[in-house]
A = this chain, B = another copy of it.
Amino acid sequence: MTEETSAAEPRGISRRALLGGGLLGAAAVGAAGFGLGRATTGEASAGAATPGTFAFTGEHQAGIVTPAQDRLYLAAFDVTTNDRDDLVALLQRWTTIAARLTQGLAAGSYGPSSGPYDAPPDDTGEVADLPPAGLTITFGFGRSLFVTPDGTDRFGLADRLPDALVELPHFPADNLDPARCDGDLVVQACADDPQVAVHAIRNLSRAAFGAATIRWTQLGYGRTSSTSTAQRTPRNLFGFKDGTANLKAEDPAHVAEHVWVPAAAAAADSRDSAWLTGGSYLVARRIRMTIETWDRTSLREQEALVGRTKGEGAPLSGGTEFTEPDFAVTGRDDQPLVAMNSHVRLAHPTHNGGVRMLRRGYNFTDGNDALGRLDAGLFFLAFVTDPRTHYIPMQNTLSRDDGLMEYLQHTGSGLFAVPPGLPDGSLVVGEDGTPITTSASPFVGQALFA
C-alpha cells in the first residue's frame, strides 16, 4: 500500500512532520479539517468517495454515512470509575484525541522528536509515517452506562436512558459469549489501513487508564457493505455480494428516516433523551460462519439459501444485481423462484414493514478453533433510528426462518446509543491548530451530562 510508494515522497499528510511541532495555523476542527484540506492518502481510494481525511465535527458523528473504509477496529469498554467527573474527563480526552488522530495528528503534542525525554511520548508512534487513511472514530454509550443490570445508577444518568436502548432479546439460535457482549462505551475506528485503526484504539485505550478498560474488541477487514453509490458491492465470506440494497449516503431522505434519531423520539420517551436527537443506534453482532460446511454445499443450495446468484448477485427472480427481487414469480411446481426461506426475501424491507438499515459490517477472521476450523464470519454493524422497529423484529424473523441460519452462529452482541456530532467550530483550538483539552472542553455526548 502506501509504504511502497512513499519511500521517496510520502503522499498525503505525514504525521512525522506534524509530530515535530506546529506546522499548522489555527483553524476550526470541522469541515475544513485543521486547514489541512481533504488531502488524499495515496491509497488507491483516490476517488472522491474516500478522501484521506474526514472532518471530525459535524451534525452527525463521522463513521456512519462516511463511505465505508476497508478496515475496522472496534472496542467496547467497561468504565472502571464510579465518579461522574472522571467519566466526563475521559470523554473530553477521547474527543480531543479523536479530533487529532482523524486529522492526521499525533494523539498529543509530545512526540518522539520533541521532549520531554523523561516522559512517555503522547503518541505510541507506529503511524508516524502514515497518512490518516480515512480514519473515523465514532463513540457510543451502552445501556449499562445508564443503569447496571442490577439496577445501579452509577453516574446519575438513569433518568436519561432512552426507551429504545433496550436489552436485546435472546434471539433463536443465539450462542453468545458474554466476553464478546455489551460494554459501557464503544469506540468504532475505521480506516483504510488497519495499523491506523489499531493505533487509534490503542491510544484511546491508553488515555482511558484509570477510567475505563477494554472489555472486548473486534478486528474487521473487507467491508461487507457499501454506504455510498460510488462504492462497489463487496462480498462476504460466503462468497456472495453483500449489502446490494443497503442505505446509501446519497439517499438523505431515507437516511434521515431510518438512521437518525428524530426529535419526536425524545418527545415520546418516558425519560429525557433529547441528548440523543440527531444521533443513532449501533447494533453490533459477531456472526460466525461455519465456513467449512458452507464450502461443501452445492452452488444450487447456496444460491437458493441466499436468493441471489453467486456470480452476479442478481435475484433468482431474474435481472441483474440491482434489479428488485420479484417475490411473486414462480417456477417449476409453482414454487417461488426466490425461496420462502431465502435470506433476501426475509430481510427485504417489504417483509419488514418497510424498515431499512445502514449496514456497515466487516468480514473477520480470528484464527482457527481447536479443530482447525476457521473462526471467521461477518461482524454485523448497523446504524438505525430505533432498534425496536429496525432490528429486533427482522432478527427474530431471520433467526427463526432464514435458511442461512444453519451456517451462522451469533457469538457476540452489543447495542449502543450513538450521540450526535460536535458542532463545527466548537472545539477549543490551540496555536498550532490542534484542539486542547480543558476542564471546559466540549466532548461527544456532552448533552447527556448537561
B-binding residues in A (CB < 8 A): 1-7, 10, 16, 19-20, 41-47, 49-50, 67, 70, 73, 75, 78, 111-113, 115-121, 123-129, 179, 192-195, 198, 202, 205-206, 213-219, 221-223, 226, 229-232, 234-240, 291-292, 295-300, 302-303, 309-312, 363, 365-368, 370-374, 376
Contact = CB atoms under 8 A, between A and B. Distances in A.
Nearest to A40: B44
Query: Secondary structure of the A side of the interface?
Result: loop
B46 A5 contact: yes
Given A120-B297, A198-B376, A230 B112 contact: no
Contacts of A193: 222
A120 B298 contact: yes
A13 to B, nearest CB: 14
Copies per assembly = 2
Contacts of A205: 372, 374
Nearest to A298: B118
A44 to B, nearest CB: 5
12 contacts: A1-B43, A3-B223, A41-B44, A42-B44, A112-B239, A112-B311, A119-B298, A124-B237, A194-B365, A195-B222, A198-B376, A202-B376
Contacts of A296: 120
A119 B215 CA distance: 43
Contacts of A215: 372
A240 B113 CA distance: 12
Contact of A49 (B4, B194, B236, B298): B4
Contact of A300 (B1, B44, B117, B195): B117
Contacts of A373: 214
B128 A239 contact: yes
A311 B44 contact: no
Contacts of A198: 221, 363, 365, 376
